[in-house]
Amino acid sequence: MAENFEITDEMRAVIGVESPPWTHEVTTTSVRMFARGVGYDDLVYFDEEAAKAAGYRSLPAPPTYLGTPIFIPGKSSDTFSGPKESGPNLDHGLPNLLDGGTETEYFGDICAGDTLTVTSQIVDMSTREGRSTGTMLITTNETRVVNQDGDLVAVQRGQAIFY
């Protein structure tokens, strides 16, 4: 339990530092697999004719699906497939992690056939006292998603709670 935890200047220095860009692909197979995995049954996620009849270019990416990171042996994280060097290291020393939630804001359609460029950065950090956890560090990460035409199509914000 962290009783005297404080955010240091070194920790604050990582706020706003953008990760290297990483490519994500959106394929018909990945759209179908994600939709099936989360239990969607709307035909727009499975049938191209249904998707086009609904006004999409191809199968639309289901909510929260922002493509699949391209895996490159030696350069990708074995766990998450994104880059091993995904931005600055936040050395806080807290051993435990909770997912604090994620929200996604869309600015355009993401459809099968799109190639997305994804970057992320920590945009905020704060502390809060927990009854059983002691002082918690709460970080907010923002991920920006740009399509092959250079258009910002989504911003995803998520919080991580370290204690």
**What is the β-pairing status of strands 22-25 and 115-130?**
antiparallel
> What pLDDT shows up at residue 86?
72
| pLDDT tens-digit map of 9-65 | 999 999 999 999 999 999 999 999 999 999 999 999 999 999 999 999 999 999 999
| pLDDT tens-digit map of 94-136 | 999 999 999 999 999 999 999 999 999 999 999 999 888 899 9
> What pLDDT shows up at residue 2?
64
Instruction: Evaluate if pTM is beyond 0.85.
Output: yes
CATH topology of domain 9-27+61-162: Thiol Ester Dehydrase; Chain A (3.10.129)
